[in-house]
Amino acid sequence: MIEHRPFTALGRANHGWLNANFHFSFSEYYDPARMQWGALRVWNDDTIAPKSGFPPHPHRDMEIITYVRTGAITHKDSLGNTGRTAAGDVQVMSAGTGITHAEYNLEDEATTLFQIWIMPRERGGEPSWGARQFPKDDRAGQMVVLASGFAEDADALPIRTDGRVLGATIRAGESLTYDLGAERKAYLVPATGAISVNGVTGTARDGFAMAGEESITITASEDAEIVLVETA
């Protein structure tokens, strides 16, 4: 089963400094049919105006992954971590027993990003934060694990959940296949381009919710950059 969710059908809120689009119920957007997908709870598509951002606010018991599409985001938290994550790179925060953080766009241009929340396999634990560069050339024509809760994904950023966040770039006319497993769920969004997933077509910033698919074949009709989350 693959459900296509067009970008135009997402929830949305425009606060001036923040233009947010919600794949799942979040904040003032509520849709009982879109509460979560497996352990995936939030997928927000945000545009943050220059010299603005989220002031300090708390989180707990959530794995929060930020995939920067354009621009950069600067993170500061109550553990003393500070870091700037630029386009194509990824940061993760395990909120655990509780952490307060702020995220600002200190750049002279708008920053666009996906913020993804995945529920942890268990509550509690020490909070943590980390970031890594993931060159897009290394993802050409293949899935690369960006964040993972599985020990075998040693090169990925660690998260405390039974899931993975993966990325790939696909040239127009080319395809890649990913072995998902019929017992797993997945949610895929192309950051750019136009694709089909097992024959279901969509364009940039659309969502594809998948369940019961042993494998998925993604074909690009335009050069595409994709992000996929798989969970139990």
Tell me the pLDDT tens digit for each residue of 5-28.
Answer: 999 999 999 999 999 999 999 999
Q: Distance between CA 49 and CA 47 in Å, rounded?
A: 7
What pLDDT sits at residue 18?
A: 98
In sign, the C-alpha dihedral spanning 105, 205, 121, 144 is negative
Nearest residue to 126 (alpha-carbon basis) of 153, 103, 99, 90: 99
Q: Distance between CA 102 and CA 227 in Å, rounded?
A: 24
State how far the alpha carbon of 109 is from the alpha carbons of 72, 106, 136, 191, in Å: 9, 9, 21, 18
What pLDDT sits at residue 36?
A: 98
**Does domain 2-231 match CATH 3.40.1710.10?**
no
pLDDT digit string, tens, across residues 73-120: 999 999 999 999 999 999 999 999 999 999 999 999 999 999 999 999
Q: What is the mean pLDDT of the chain?
A: 97
| Amino acid letter, residue 26 | F
